[in-house]
Structure 1
């Protein structure tokens, strides 16, 4: 039987499950999540939950998270694989996201997310932190594997849906623009970066990538201005694409900006 995580997270009444094994597993799970993540007490309760029902997917998933954060990817994967086996729709997205975020495993990330994409009729949902539509991760994964055509297919599909529903993601245009830049489609990349600026005007990363694009177009004056703006925003506001656990896709560092500025003599340099 399949039990989606949203069912457990939304409910307070474990008797909604039809059999006693899942009811008991749910009760232990509900108690366990009241304690600190990764604490001895919570993990003991998760073990009791699995003793009641070895295929209770929410417990398998939640129990795996502390191992992931500690870098014990083997134990995380053993538990997550069982969670996916018990509830594919509920946990394929999370496993795929973790492959992407913590391991740069683009092949397995794409395999999981594409399977979920097919199971959900092309709407696989969002990452656990809400930052990304999973189709954007599919696109970036294909890009990192060198498949630009397929990457653009998912970028374009996802962004078109977001525009239609007025639900644009925080970094949709940034990542598509960075991909177009790699493809040497500079005019199109510049359009995307300008669209990203409408949503994230103070994001240092987008100014940096605009600088790279102008530089590739032999417009050193605009490139210098963009790099300078990126540096000011990076230092003064600290508003940049970052994450406390891992390097983010297309993340920019101050050293990158300083290096780019160092290669240009002055704003009007040609």
Structure 2
């Protein structure tokens, strides 16, 4: 047990606090009492340890307890906004679908690191702003940010490095606006960069071809969508439902439309 000895210097307490946060107790037993107790000790030793405040909040997030999660994570953001503000935006976006607050955090993160595309939780802020504006049905801004994200990835690494869901969402925007030709281009890019196995892209291509009256191509893509869906090749995330997530009922609806048209 690590005691919070008052005779230790501020620097010593900070060092011990960091050591606790690097320990296996914290990282291998997330959410269990001994892990939470260790993190609380780290905070008591160094109340400005932003990583500890953030880690203490995570079990509440995953258990769906926002009133316990938010004050703890807000503390982490206040102590180290450059590190944690973008992450809070990520959590607002995916866990709570609070698109407006997510955008506020993403914009603030951008302001903290100008001329740099931040990647909280390993994903581009521009990509996530695209998702947030899509959630708000602001298709113009959503497309703008997906365009920016895809352009930056293409310039730096190559188009195949971009997350295929950026093409998927941009295609959904075009489909929503009845720009079927542009929508198909993006859905085919999803297939190009996913070895031709992505249920969402096949599903939307089936809908596009059905709109155009091409039942044969529509039927081909919906059958491929069903195969890929059953094999687990569809857009999903741990813990949460993604925006515009598809289900087998959606695929069956297209099949029924084909059978009855």
TM value normalised by structure 1: 0.85
Contact 1:211–1:224 (Cα < 8 Å) also in 2: yes
Alignment counterpart, residue 17 of structure 2, candidates 16, 22, 25: 25
Contact 1:110–1:138 (Cα < 8 Å) also in 2: yes
Task: Tell me, yes or no, if structure 1 residue 103 matches structure 2 residue 96.
Answer: yes
Q: CA RMSD in A?
A: 1.8
Alignment counterpart, residue 79 of structure 1, candidates 60, 72, 80: 72
Q: CA deviation at 1:127?
A: 4.6
Residue aligned with 1:46, SS: helix
Q: Mapping of 1:122-161 within 5 angstroms?
A: 122-128=115-121, 130=122, 132-161=123-152
Q: Gaps spanning 5+ residues in structure 2: where?
A: 1-9
Distance in 1 (CA, whole Å) between partners of 2:226 and 2:251 is 6
Distance in 1 (CA, whole Å) between partners of 2:141 and 2:236 is 26
CA separation of 1:259 and 1:151: change in aligned 2, threshold 3 A: same
Q: Relative to structure 2, which stretch is displaced further, 116-125 or 193-202?
A: 116-125
Alignment counterpart, residue 231 of structure 1, candidates 226, 232, 235: 226
CA separation of 1:170 and 1:256: change in aligned 2, threshold 3 A: same
Give the number of equivalent residue pairs. 247
Q: Could you tell me which residue of structure 2 aligns to residue 48 of structure 1?
A: 41
Q: Could you tell me which residue of structure 2 aligns to residue 174 of structure 1?
A: 168
Q: CA deviation at 1:74?
A: 1.2
Deviations 1:105-129 (A, max 9, x none): 111111111211222225343352x
Q: Gaps spanning 5+ residues in structure 1: where?
A: 1-17
Q: CA deviation at 1:84?
A: 0.5
Contact 1:211–1:223 (Cα < 8 Å) also in 2: yes
Alignment counterpart, residue 181 of structure 2, candidates 176, 184, 187: 187
Distance in 2 (CA, whole Å) between partners of 1:224 and 1:153 is 32
Q: Could you tell me which residue of structure 2 aligns to residue 214 of structure 1?
A: 209
